A and B are shown apart, each in its own frame.
Chain A
Amino acid sequence: MSAQVLSRSAESRNETLDAGNLPGRQRRSRVMTGVLIAATGIAVLALIALLASIFKDALPWLRPDLLTNMPSRKAEKAGLYPALIGSLWIIGFTALFAFPVGIGAAIYLEEYAPRNRLTRLLEVNIANLAGVPSVVYGLLGLGVFVTWLNLGRSVLAGALTMALLILPVVIIASREAIRAVPPSLREAAYGVGATKWQVTSSHVLPTAMPGILTGIILATSRALGETAPLIVVGAAAYVTFLPSGWLDKYTVLPMQIYEWSRRPQDEFQGLAAAGIVVLLALLLALNAVAIWLRARSARKVRW
Chain B
Amino acid sequence: MSLTTERAGIDQITGNARDAIGAGVLPEPGTDRNVVISLRDLNVHYGRFHAVGDVNLDIPRNRITAFIGPSGCGKSTVLRSINRMNDLVPTAKVDGTIWYHDRNINGRDIDPVMVRRRIGMVFQKPNPFPKSIAENILWGAKINGFTGNKAELVESCLRRAALWDEVKDKLDASGLALSGGQQQRLCIARALANNPDVILMDEPASALDPISTLKIEDLMRELARNFTIVIVTHNMQQAARVSDQTCFFSLNEQRMGFMVEASPTTELFTNPKDRRTEDYITGRFG
Contacts and interface: CB of A to CB of B under 8 A. Distances in A.
**Touching in the complex, A and B, CB below 8 A?**
yes
Contact of A15 (B110, B113, B197): B197
Interface stretch (A18-26, A197-205, A213-221, A226-234): A18-26
Contacts of A302: none
A14 B197 contact: yes
Interface stretch (A1-9, A107-115, A240-248): A1-9
B114 interface: yes
Interface residues of A, number: 18
Contacts of B148: 5
B276 interface: no
Q: Is the interface of A mostly helix, strand, loop or mixed?
A: loop
B153 interface: yes
Contact of A17 (B114, B143, B149): B114
Contacts of A16: 101
A290 B117 CA distance: 50
A283 to B, nearest CB: 36
Given A14-B197, A17-B100, A25 B143 contact: yes
B88 to A, nearest CB: 15
A250 to B, nearest CB: 54
Nearest to B225: A8
B226 A1 contact: no
B156 A1 contact: yes
A5 B152 contact: yes
A13 interface: yes
Interface residues of B, number: 27
A17 B145 contact: no
Contacts of B114: 17-20, 22
Given A1-B155, A20-B117, A22-B111, A14 B195 contact: yes
B152 A26 contact: no
Nearest to B100: A17
A15 to B, nearest CB: 6
A8 B226 contact: yes
A27 to B, nearest CB: 12
Interface of B: 36, 62, 100-101, 103, 105, 110-111, 113-115, 117-118, 143-145, 148-149, 152-153, 155-156, 159-160, 195, 197, 226
- Give the 10 A-B residue pairs with the shortest CB-CB distance, closest first: A21-B145, A8-B226, A5-B156, A6-B156, A5-B152, A17-B103, A15-B197, A22-B114, A17-B114, A15-B101
Interface of A: 1-2, 5-6, 8, 10, 13-22, 25-26
20 contacts: A1-B152, A1-B155, A1-B156, A5-B148, A5-B149, A5-B152, A6-B156, A6-B159, A8-B195, A15-B101, A15-B118, A17-B100, A17-B103, A17-B114, A17-B115, A18-B114, A20-B114, A22-B114, A25-B113, A25-B143
